[in-house]
A and B are shown apart, each in its own frame.
Chain A
Amino acid sequence: MKKTTMALGATAALVLVGCASGPMMSKGSGDEFMSMMKTSFSARGIAKMDRIEQDLGQAACSSDKDPSPAVAKRVEAEALASIQWPAGGQYFGDWKAGEKLAQGGRGMTWTDKSTDPKDNGGNCYNCHQLSKEEISYGTIGPSLYDYGKIRGVKDVTAKSSAEVVQYTWGKLWNSKAYAACSNMPRFGHKGLLNQDQIRDLMSLLLDPRSPVNQ
């Protein structure tokens, strides 16, 4: 059993390398698997079949093994290059709206009617602790309680805050820029949230007056 698993792991690694340097896998067990996926799923509502067409990062992070450092680096570099920085250099919005967004988990399922970011939640509390008051939080991601405080943000416009401000925007826009196989959705990159919504989340995380930093 152990042997089989290892052999399979090796095959998967080969397939991955193949992916990294060319088009999607085209033969062997990967092909059989994808044909199963295509016959098993069908489009419904807003959930079309392109949702099981993987990009580089999704394919690289689809086994119980991590991708090779070279592949991970490429995923991260492509993700970093894809980040759209905020229009007008305006990084911040309203932390109260951010808190509301953080609570919401809706959007983008086949029972949802539209793909407009305005209909989507940020899903933050599903995986993270944020404010002290909300005890119903998940633990898939790290606690973000005191996120700005721990990072020494006393004034979001201060020069000393610039680095963490930029990183946080980038992480929200495309989490894979900083960790190829991050569990976190790519909120900006995949059109799950718009720039204004991300600004609100930025305020929730970094504004010293936000409940996250109390």
Chain B
Amino acid sequence: MRSRPPAAALTAVLALALAGTGAAMAQTKSTAEGIAEYRQMLADGNPAELYEAKGEELWKKPRGPKNASLEKCDLGKGPGVVKGAFVELPRYFADTGRVQDLESRLMTCMQTLQGIDPAEVMKAGFRQGEKGNVEAMATWVAGMSRGMRFNLPQNHPEEKRFYELGKKAFFFRGGTHDFSCASCHGEDGKRIRLQDLPDLTKNPGDGIGFAAWPAYRVGNGQMWGMQHRLNDCYRQQRFPYPGYTSDVTIALSSYMGVNAKGAESIAPAIKR
């Protein structure tokens, strides 16, 4: 890996670059084209690489009370198989009897192999402590499936059940503003302000929606996994607080992941 400027400095430079192109952009090309170009500009300098490197190190390093690495962790394709695991998650795991997404499965492996209490992850804030470690590992694991296509298994009854629960959750209106996920992500070609909104009731295309997270967000200089993404969606929906790796989050990921069948993963992506 090449050496890089610190993330904060990089963010500042990017912010300037964006501000500079803003006015011209509005006149000469659509916002979507502008953002795509800007992503391209950053493509070989995605700070997510730093988290991928951290994640790989954490995966291989003996840690926790059992002083073990995660190299025997089964992410669904057998112990230690990382490549291709991400594009098949969430899926059902016989040892836990649960449908699990990437983050919850990493927590299971940390507990069984390393003896790290899941409570350590649950109690930490996003990007902090053991939760930050899970997110870094999720970033690395996702990156190991870059360019592969989503193909979530739907054979086990629990996988089908979670898909249906996720679909219900997706359309569930609530909160002070009557929003559901579908309020913003149920139709093609819509925007909030200038932000394009993918239609997540179907495959929205390669590297869009479910196929883009985890992602590095330039706007706030933060690396977000899918759990963090869903958490902030629910905040903006004015819902109560969704628990980290709670069933509703895994059900929603199942719904979006199955819908994304055939979409190419570009995770970890870069977002504005």
Whether the pair A63, B171 counts as a contact (CB closer than 8 A) is yes
What chain A residues lie within 8 Å of B175 (beta carbons)? Answer: 47, 51-52, 108
1/0 per position for A44-75, CB-CB distance to B under 8 A?
Answer: 10011101111001110111100000000000
In the complex, whether B123 has a CB less than 8 A from a CB of chain A is: no
Whether the pair B176, A190 counts as a contact (CB closer than 8 A) is yes
Whether the pair B248, A41 counts as a contact (CB closer than 8 A) is yes
Partner of A36, one of B171, B191, B248: B248
Whether the pair A136, B194 counts as a contact (CB closer than 8 A) is yes
Whether the pair B177, A108 counts as a contact (CB closer than 8 A) is yes
The residue of chain B having its C-beta at the shortest distance from the C-beta of A41 within the complex is B240
Known: A37-B248, A49-B240. A138 touches B193 (CB 8 A): yes
Whether the pair A64, B243 counts as a contact (CB closer than 8 A) is no
Whether the pair A36, B247 counts as a contact (CB closer than 8 A) is yes
The residue of chain B having its C-beta at the shortest distance from the C-beta of A134 within the complex is B193
What chain A residues lie within 8 Å of B68 (beta carbons)? Answer: none
Whether the pair B171, A62 counts as a contact (CB closer than 8 A) is yes
List which B120-167 residues lie within 8 A (CB) of chain A.
164-165, 167
Return A203 CB to nearest CB of chain B, in Å: 23
Whether the pair B247, A47 counts as a contact (CB closer than 8 A) is no
Return B264 CB to nearest CB of chain A, in Å: 23
Known: A39-B246, A63-B171, A183-B183. A126 touches B192 (CB 8 A): yes
CA distance A126 to B178 in the complex (A): 15
Whether the pair A109, B240 counts as a contact (CB closer than 8 A) is no
What chain A residues lie within 8 Å of B246 (beta carbons)? Answer: 39-41
Whether the pair B239, A138 counts as a contact (CB closer than 8 A) is no
In the complex, whether A185 has a CB less than 8 A from a CB of chain B is: yes
Whether the pair B193, A137 counts as a contact (CB closer than 8 A) is yes
CA distance A29 to B161 in the complex (A): 10
In the complex, whether B83 has a CB less than 8 A from a CB of chain A is: no
What chain B residues lie within 8 Å of A43 (beta carbons)? Answer: 240-241
The residue of chain B having its C-beta at the shortest distance from the C-beta of A135 within the complex is B26
CA distance A29 to B178 in the complex (A): 22
The residue of chain B having its C-beta at the shortest distance from the C-beta of A141 within the complex is B190
What chain A residues lie within 8 Å of B5 (beta carbons)? Answer: none
Return A53 CB to nearest CB of chain B, in Å: 8
Known: A39-B247, A40-B248, A62-B173. A51 touches B193 (CB 8 A): no
Whether the pair B239, A57 counts as a contact (CB closer than 8 A) is no
Partner of A41, one of B178, B193, B239: B239
In the complex, whether A21 has a CB less than 8 A from a CB of chain B is: no
In the complex, whether A199 has a CB less than 8 A from a CB of chain B is: no
CA distance A137 to B79 in the complex (A): 49
Whether the pair A51, B190 counts as a contact (CB closer than 8 A) is no
List which B212-260 residues lie within 8 A (CB) of chain A.
235-236, 238-243, 246-249, 251
What chain A residues lie within 8 Å of B249 (beta carbons)? Answer: 40
CA distance A47 to B115 in the complex (A): 34
What chain A residues lie within 8 Å of B190 (beta carbons)? Answer: 138-140
Whether the pair A57, B165 counts as a contact (CB closer than 8 A) is no
Return A17 CB to nearest CB of chain B, in Å: 17
Whether the pair B164, A29 counts as a contact (CB closer than 8 A) is yes
Whether the pair A54, B183 counts as a contact (CB closer than 8 A) is no
Partner of A47, one of B169, B179, B201, B240: B240
CA distance A111 to B239 in the complex (A): 11
Whether the pair B191, A139 counts as a contact (CB closer than 8 A) is yes
The residue of chain B having its C-beta at the shortest distance from the C-beta of A61 within the complex is B173
In the complex, whether A130 has a CB less than 8 A from a CB of chain B is: no
List which A17-50 residues lie within 8 A (CB) of chain B.
29, 32-33, 36-37, 39-44, 47-49
What chain B residues lie within 8 Å of A54 (beta carbons)? Answer: 172-174
CA distance A139 to B188 in the complex (A): 11
For the complex of A and B, 10 pairs with smallest distance between CB atoms = A40-B246, A40-B248, A44-B241, A185-B177, A41-B240, A58-B173, A138-B192, A108-B176, A108-B238, A51-B175
Additional A-B contacts beyond A33-B165, A40-B246, A108-B175 (8; CB < 8 A):
A36-B251, A41-B246, A49-B240, A62-B168, A109-B236, A139-B189, A185-B177, A190-B177
9 A-B residue pairs with Cβ-Cβ distance under 8 Å, sorted by A, are A40-B248, A64-B171, A109-B235, A109-B238, A111-B235, A135-B26, A140-B197, A183-B183, A185-B176
